[in-house]
Structure 1
């Protein structure tokens, strides 16, 4: 019962608001991570991108600077307020909004078959995976990409294993996609990128 309560709290807006208010930070994506993302997701100016669990909006801002039209969502009001304040220079290409992909109704701007790229940088682990993957495949174009940045759970300290995916979780992601690619983002393959292309 206690474990269940802890797992639930990690997926609540209140939990994340408290973390952000206390100064919680997800490191900005470095040059190598950004380049790998661009290469594997084959990003092009003019694409419509959705950044899920955007936090303070760092990856969303980079995508906007690359010429993508970006819709960035997070259910933490604190994170969204900070993202809006810190990335005003990207406002023509970037929109931040509060949204809970687990419990809220689908945003009306996410129409079926219209999204080119969905990015989940350190956020996929906290979603209702079945619902989100079903919705993501519906929103994406036939050649669309879901890009996930995460940790391998087995390489994380036991107390932080929830911040990553197990090998079996990663393998199951192949279902419902035409192609899947994984790539390492650090020396020991703890931090990885996963690209799922072509929803079916």
Structure 2
């Protein structure tokens, strides 16, 4: 199988400058809110936030949210769209290569989200970290494109998704009280994991 090279931070910045973010649909919001539990006054971490569209939506629901991305260009756009909001921050972080920010403390986060960026991360390792960050009853939400079978050659590196088998593994990872999965829209799947109850590991 030919592995698709991942864009670097500069390439992502150039891409974000030319392409609008995927819109947040009413259907996505409805499904998310069905499984997310109470949000107002709680703390969220948004991984791979891009220009911050989803991070801002979390704040509209009353959360305190921090969006992390490794594209300086995307974060520059995010900062321009919202200036000085008391419950919203953005920070640069290369999740795959750098240490976890000190702002993320174990057991202090109510919700971690990863919208359209999970396929670029080592999600097995990520879930182990997320389980440590979440407080009791915390949740992890991911929205990801679904890749067709046949390998990675020729795919658009800026719209990468997970294979169906990978999503099945994700939903059945041990260590969570509940898992929900749904078809969000054409080519997209949503996942919500509830309440880590111990070390997270694959079956």
TM range, normalised to the smaller chain?
Answer: 0.7 to 0.9
Richer in helix (by share): 1
How many residues align? The count is 192
Is 1:100 the counterpart of 2:100? The answer is: no
8 A Cα contact 2:68 2:93, kept in partner? yes
CA distance in 2, matches of 1:62, 1:155: 33
Segments of 5+ residues of structure 2 without an aligned counterpart are 199-203
8 A Cα contact 1:28 1:59, kept in partner? no
8 A Cα contact 2:51 2:75, kept in partner? yes
- Show the counterpart of 2:75: 80
Question: Structure 1 length normalisation: TM-score?
Answer: 0.87
Question: Structure 2 length normalisation: TM-score?
Answer: 0.86
- Structure 1 residues 1-200: aligned runs within 5 Å: 3-4=2-3, 6-7=4-5, 9-10=6-7, 12-21=8-17, 23-88=18-83, 91-154=85-148, 159-160=155-156, 163-173=160-170, 174-175=172-173, 176-186=175-185, 188=186, 190-199=187-196, 200=198
Richer in strand (by share): 2
* SS of corresponding position for 2:143: strand
Residues 43 and 165 (structure 1), Cα distance of their counterparts in 2 relative to 1, 3 Å cut: farther
Instruction: Identify which of structures 1 and 2 has the higher relative contact order when contacts are C-alpha pairs closer than 8 Å and 6+ apart.
Output: 2
CA distance in 2, matches of 1:100, 1:136: 16
CA RMSD of aligned residues (A): 2.3
Segments of 5+ residues of structure 1 without an aligned counterpart are none
